[in-house]
Amino acid sequence: MRDNITTQRISAVRNLLNEWRVEAVYITSETNRRWLSGFTGSNGQLLITKEHALLATDFRYWEQAQQQAPAYTLFKHQRTTEDTVQFFTETGATRIGIEANHLTLQAATDLKNNNALSHLTWVPLPQTVESLRAVKNSDEIAAIQAAAAITDHTMSQVNLLARPGISEKELAWELEKVMRDAGAEATAFTLIVASGPNSALPHHRPGKRLLQAGDTIVVDMGAQLDGYKSDLTRSFYLGSEPNEQFWAVYNKVLEAQTAVIQQTRPGMTCKEIDGIARNM
């Protein structure tokens, strides 16, 4: 099943080469690489032409690449200049698209300054497979739904696990354990637990602060499953009855959220939708 999907995705990229005015595309983004090949190793690059699909990785991931990416011709790359030259000259392509938003400036400079590759033209592409990835198939939708369900289940445990005297770090770790026990392959991002005054800090990293009765606690987390991620944020009150300030903020946010739901229409930009809430 995965092989068929990979073959279809390679074909879709090949159909875009003429539109991009290139003979090959060089994929370095980890997310794009996994989507196009199924390979999950931390080191790997793809080179796709009309006739070839190459995956370069080092000896550590050779077995893994063979298992996960059978649709690709594997190329052992030990990060030497010789390997780089051979990789890019293997297919005969001379006009190669690169991921402008992912390839580092240093890596791009090294390619351009490599005398053995001086006959190649490097074409920066603002996007490569992102437009293809935006359209999800049924398996992708199912993975996203499953990741969201894991996150929802984990969030339901906050009221049971949050208690005075434990630190933000401890609560974050307990929640991550629940998430992984429920089947997540990883967290979608570093789990956020922000308590008391820290709850006002955007993207606060869980620290040593101990939870106290009367705290407002913001939990922001997501599960990753098969490479697809979810994201859920909730606010909690640690105690029996929230104070007036908590309810005032809660009701204002609820009012803004309701307005966004009621006023959002097809064709609106994300900025316009965000503005509805911020202008309340």
- Domain coordinates in residue numbering, the chain: 2-133, 138-242
Q: Are 77 and 10 in contact (CB under 8 A)?
A: no
Give me the chain's average pLDDT, please. 95
Give the torsion through C-alpha atoms of 111, 112, 115, 120, to 10 deg. Answer: 90
226/175 Cα distance (integer angstroms): 20
Would strands 53-57 and 45-49 be described as parallel, antiparallel, or unpaired? antiparallel
**In sequence order, what are the beta bridge partners of 73?**
54
Judge whether residue 3 has pLDDT over 80.
Answer: no
Spell out the residues 6+ positions from residue 174 whose beta carbon is closer than 8 angstroms to its own.
161
Q: Which CATH superfamily is domain 2-133 in?
A: Creatinase/prolidase N-terminal domain (3.40.350.10)
Q: How far is Cα of residue 138 from the mean position of the Cα atoms in its chain? A: 19
Judge whether residue 1 has pLDDT over 70.
Answer: no
Q: Give the mean model confidence (pLDDT) for residues 269-278.
A: 96
Percent of residues, the chain, with pLDDT higher than 90: 94
- CATH code of the region 138-242: 3.90.230.10
pLDDT in tens, 124-172: 999 999 999 999 999 999 999 999 999 999 999 999 999 999 999 999 9
**pLDDT level of residue 2 (50, 70, 90 thresholds):** low
pLDDT in tens, 65-96: 999 999 999 998 887 888 999 999 999 999 99
